[in-house]
Structures are given as C-alpha cells and as structure tokens.
Chain A
C-alpha cells in the first residue's frame, strides 16, 4: 500500500464514521426526551454530516478520479463502507444513544487532536475544526451519562445495560491495521496505543462520575473496516441511497 492509498483509505474511514453516525442521529429527529435535546441532537447530526462532507471532498481530491462527496456517500455499497461497527449500531433508547456517543466521541476527539499535528496539512485543518465540535459533543453526552448513571434506579439500570451491550464494539477503534501504521509512520498520524491509554482513563473517569462500573467484557467485535457490518447497516445504507439509486444520474 502506498502512502497516498493509505491517506485515501484513512480519510474515507473518517468520512464513513461521521456520515453513518450522523445518519443514525438523524433518525432521532422529533423523538427526543426534551425539546432542548432535540435541538442538541439535530445540531450534533449536522456537525457529523458537515464533517463527512469535508472528509469525502478531500478523499475525492486525493483519489483524483473525479469522485465527489455524494459519490462516496450514495454510490458505494455497504460492504465498501469502512466505519466502526459502534457507530452503525441502531439507536435503541436514549441511554443506548448516549453510551454509543460517549464511547465514540471519547475516541474520536483524541483521534482528531492527534491529527491536528499530522503532516498532511488538509487533514490537520479539518481535524482542528471537527475537534472543536466533538469536544462540546462529548461535554454534552458525558454529562448526560452522569445524569443517567447517577439519576434513578431505572436510569442507572438502563445505562448499565447499554454499556454492557455496546462495550464489545469499542475495542475495534484501537485495533489498527496497515492504514493506521502508514498514517502514523509517514504522516505522524495518531498512535493508537497512546490513544487507547488516554481513552481508557477518560472513559473510566466519566463512568466513575456516573457511578457506573466498567463492564467485565473482554470480547471484541470488529470487521467494520473490512466492510463486515451489522445486518442493520444494509437497511441504513439502502434508505440513505434510495433517491440516488432509483434515479441514476439525476441532479438534485
């Protein structure tokens, strides 16, 4: 794999994580527990869609074959998406959503922070902008996790269940492959071992505030980067791509 191929794959992965998570959050529009939360949720979804657009546009430039942001979003099959399994997990209840966001945002914020120092100028610029957004997402979602964990017996039980359900998807974020190795060696990209250590400390502190225990779960489910997704992913992609697929070549 060349340096440029690795940079392209890495940028697309960033775009895929942002798009798929944004799409999941969009499903929650008009379904929040409070009007203020609906605003926050739509705002977060908008940030993720905006980030996906920046990553995909840049991926198109790296690739140099004339593909644009919409080609990556709407004209690839689900097997070609390389997002983490964690971000594609169905929404479930509010506790599931919050746990998913906290686990991912904690990682993604660190990843972006590391990318601000990478040698690829464009990626570093996007990371600066996206990093600010993810910083306030995490502040919001981690505060909610604390409220749920340290709220009522019911909310504590629901948050615990959600954590148990989603924890096994977190390990995939630290299981690097050739793309991550090249990004680190050739572009001074993120060091996943360091990020994992920082993530563990960060998440442990949030869970401690939330009076929630770290799940005793050693099993890790991976495969997202190879396009081995959950069954639900095919439906997400089919719904998202409907118009572009049904009216091929149309301008919108």
Chain B
C-alpha cells in the first residue's frame, strides 16, 4: 500500500528512486549514528520509510480509535469539571491524530489511504482500545495506566531520528502527561471515596492491568521490527525494557492508591531494583490483534459509519468549493 502511495507522487528527479547502494545506506546510517534528524526531503532507505509510515499511521489510528472508549463516558461524566476535562482530553486525541497523519503524509502516503487501510482492517491500532469501558473508574484507569504506558513509549520518540515525527511527539507528550495526571486523580478520588467507589477502582485495575502491559508489544525475542528500528533510532528502548520501566513506575502508585495488582507473581527484587511480574497471556494479545477482542468490530464499525454518514457532507463541501472557484475564475 505504501508503495502505491509513493507512486502517486510521480517520478522524483533524483535520489528517491535511486538504487540503494551500499554507499548510500552507509552514509544514511552515519547520519543516524551522529544523531542528525532525517527530514522529509532527505534520502532514506525504502524500508526506513515503510517502517515509519507503518508506525506513525498506527499511532494516528490509535489516537482516533482511542476517542471511542473514552467518549463512551462523556455523556455520563459525574461532574461538569470531569466532563470538561475528559472532553478536552478526547479533543486532544483528535488533534494528535491530525498531527500524526500530517507527519506520516510527509513520507508520501495520503491520509485518505491511511484511513482506508484502517477501515479495511489492513492497518492496525493499539490493542488496548479493543477493550470496553464499563464503569467511570475505567476512565481513570485509562488515563493512569494506558496514558502512562503511552508516555513510556512516546517520550523516547521525541528523539526519534525522523524529524517531523520527533517534533510532533514533543507536543503530544506534553498533553499526554496531563492526561495521565487527570486519570490518576480520578483514581485517587475514587480510592478515597466510598467502599463502592473503591471497589469500582479495583475492578477497573483488574481488567486493565494486563492489557496495559500488552501495549508494549511482544517480548524482544519475538518482536520482528525491533532490531531494525533500534538501529535506525526510531526506537530507543526495547519492548521489554519499556514494559519493565512502566511496571517499576506503576506498582508504587497502585500501593499509594491502596489497590492490589492482579498478579500473584508480582514481587520486588531487591538485587536488581525491579519489580518482577507474571507472564502475560500472549494468546489473548494475539487474539485481539487478529480482530477478536471484545470491541474490535464495534470500534471499526463506528469509524466506518462516521465515514459513510459523512460522505454526502464531504461531497457538498467539494461541490460548493468548486462552484466558488468557478465563480472566482
């Protein structure tokens, strides 16, 4: 699909179509190793471009699909302040989607193509958004854990070798950090509230903990894209390193909240200074990626419905613009 997107740009004058000689590849790697930013018009290996398009578009799709589970509680938010904060957060996510689609477009793929790939099921998005938000505490947990995990992943991306992506991530990370704090604040209030509220918080943690750990992707030994991405400095830390950082940061927060992690194998290892945790249910992870999570179909159906229901509106806007242009000419 990405090749097709690139072909639509017409024949470039020079370097982009040039064969990937060993000298070109070596010069490119030297720039990466010297921490130079690669910009949209610079020469880059086709595989580097494909990797970025895949990663940035998946990231954009995750922001857009992620609006749904949180949007599920917008009409029922318990106070006007919480409603306004959640709405601002969901609006930020739409904004992140826009920057990221924009960053991916600098690599020669159109937003229409990326959206078509999302709706056809060809492109993926974060597995976490295929779980349902059943109570208000899920909104707190998403902010605390899901945005917390996202930050672990995304802060290193601010130093990603591809300039447009790195710059988009700087702004996104600032907003994500506010999202994480508001999530933790929801949890804190619930945990200091009534017995029913605390039970609601525990139930949400029980359901979201393991899917949050899955957000970091397969073990390093199983991750097919990791080694290349590390060499190209798209990725700075491995999946397992980031997962461990997240666990180490989050377990004390759960203790502070007075919540119990749903993992009997979880223990602090004094020697290494890390929390050791149980094995993730990788079958569940693969099932959700394959489209069999609780909400995969619902999420894509809603996106498809919005796209289909809006077709006449987009056609009207184009028709009006064409009339206006004809009148002006």
Q: Is A2 interfacial (CB 8 A cutoff)? A: no
Q: Mark A19-41, 1 if CB is under 8 A from B, else 0.
A: 10001001101111111111100
Q: How many residues of B contact A (CB 8 A)?
A: 50
Query: Which secondary structure dominates where chain B touches chain A?
Result: helix
List of B residues within 8 angstroms of A250 by Cβ: 78, 193-194, 196-197
B302 to chain A: closest residue by CB: A30
Q: Are B90 and A29 in contact (CB under 8 A)?
A: yes
- Other-chain contact of B80, A27, A30, A52 (Cβ < 8 Å): A52
Q: Mark B293-315, 1 if CB is under 8 A from A, else 0.
A: 00000000011011001111111
Q: Are A46 and B87 in contact (CB under 8 A)?
A: yes
Query: Which secondary structure dominates where chain A touches chain B?
Result: helix
Q: Are B87 and A32 in contact (CB under 8 A)?
A: no
A247 to chain B: closest residue by CB: B196
Give the Cβ gap from A249 to chain B, nearest Cβ, in Å: 8
Q: Is A184 interfacial (CB 8 A cutoff)? A: no
Q: Are A148 and B136 in contact (CB under 8 A)?
A: no
Chain A interface residue number, banded: 35 or more
- Other-chain contact of B74, A19, A29, A148, A158 (Cβ < 8 Å): A29
Q: Is A225 interfacial (CB 8 A cutoff)? A: no
Q: Mark B58-82, 1 if CB is under 8 A from A, else 0.
A: 0000001001100100111111111
Listed by A's residue number, 12 A-B pairs whose Cβ atoms lie within 8 Å are A30-B68, A33-B310, A39-B95, A53-B80, A56-B80, A69-B80, A73-B80, A148-B313, A152-B315, A243-B78, A244-B79, A252-B190
Binding site for B on A (CB under 8 A): 19, 23, 26-27, 29-39, 42-43, 45-46, 49-50, 52-53, 56, 69-70, 73-74, 93-95, 146-148, 150-152, 154-155, 158, 239-240, 242-244, 247, 250-252
Binding site for A on B (CB under 8 A): 64, 67-68, 71, 74-84, 87-88, 90-91, 94-95, 97-98, 101, 136, 186, 189-190, 193-194, 196-197, 302-303, 305-306, 309-321, 323
